[in-house]
Structure 1
């Protein structure tokens, strides 16, 4: 499961900017080990230290003490095993499970495919791409708008035009 991304090199000692995709950003450091896909093979990546830096983090990865070596990891996605995540309560979902779900209206009209979720501070919003390649924004409000979620079959039913 994708949980973060390594950004640009930070400084001369091999530190890297790091962006967490988890809801509570610093919880990402509880979900170890981290994996990267390198040359079509999964590799474990371990870090020595991390620090909060502005609206993201900087990390120092084991055995990387030089800016030029760290450069090889720029723009690398960080993954974890999904089993590392806490079990969810009823009617709770990981965004990763929602993405790629097909969206249908309560009138059985196909609305499109979930391509992303965003949060506006009040509630989450489904970003749906329809057959015309246009994006539709649907508030992710359980019971009021989102009537049914079937993660197993990747289908969501919404009360939407």
Structure 2
């Protein structure tokens, strides 16, 4: 596998604390469900400034916690060197989604405007709330005001259109909602 720092990567998790004396580590997964990260046995991590492959060779669950062993990290000393490191994959290695479905990272940075043509800002990130996901929209130059907006990601009633080419999301959302 040729490692390329310029290719788009998606962060799937972060290495947690050392667990035990054989180099095992806690794994903080950002995937839903959390164990979905285990589908990628080879993850990318920046170690001493260099992008390297970190290969999960064993894993187990301890209650709600994922505990993993990376090939070549066989004691607490070597494992400590990767504690706190972000774990990613190349974006093109993600499974294809159905038409009209998106990964969160694909929505981040898209401009959000309402049906009246008012620009609210860009999607900074999304929140998982249980009922539905929520877009966190931060103002930009050209926004109608300087407010942060939380807009529910409800296709059809709130999210009217997502234009991936123009990187715009059209929403049914009034500028003064919650005033």
Structure 1 position 126 matched with structure 2 position 117: no
Q: What do residues 52-86 of structure 1 show as CA deviations (whole Å, max 9, x unaligned)?
A: 23333111111212112111111111111223222
Structure 1 position 110 matched with structure 2 position 123: no
Q: Which residue of 2 aligns with 1:67?
A: 76
CA-based RMSD? 1.8
Structure 1 position 29 matched with structure 2 position 19: no
Larger Rg: 2
Q: d(CA) in 2 for partners of 1:31 and 1:133?
A: 40
What SS is found at the alignment partner of 2:67? strand
Structure 1 position 7 matched with structure 2 position 20: no
Query: Does the aligned pair in 2 maintain the 1:2–1:78 contact within 8 Å?
Result: yes
Q: What do residues 111-161 of structure 1 show as CA deviations (whole Å, max 9, x unaligned)?
A: 112111112111111111224765321000111001111223321111112
What SS is found at the alignment partner of 2:95? coil
Counterpart pick for 2:101 among 85, 92, 99: 92
TM-score, structure 1 normalization: 0.90
Structure 1 position 138 matched with structure 2 position 147: no
Q: d(CA) in 1 for partners of 2:146 and 2:30?
A: 25
Q: d(CA) in 2 for partners of 1:116 and 1:56?
A: 25
Q: d(CA) in 2 for partners of 1:103 and 1:46?
A: 38
Q: d(CA) in 2 for partners of 1:150 and 1:21?
A: 26
Q: Which residue of 2 aligns with 1:17?
A: 26
Q: What do residues 18-45 of structure 1 show as CA deviations (whole Å, max 9, x unaligned)?
A: 1222222222211242111234432111
Q: Which residue of 2 aligns with 1:160?
A: 173
Consecutive unaligned residues of structure 1, counting only runs of 5 or more, are: none
Q: How many residues align?
A: 161
Q: d(CA) in 1 for partners of 2:65 and 2:147?
A: 31
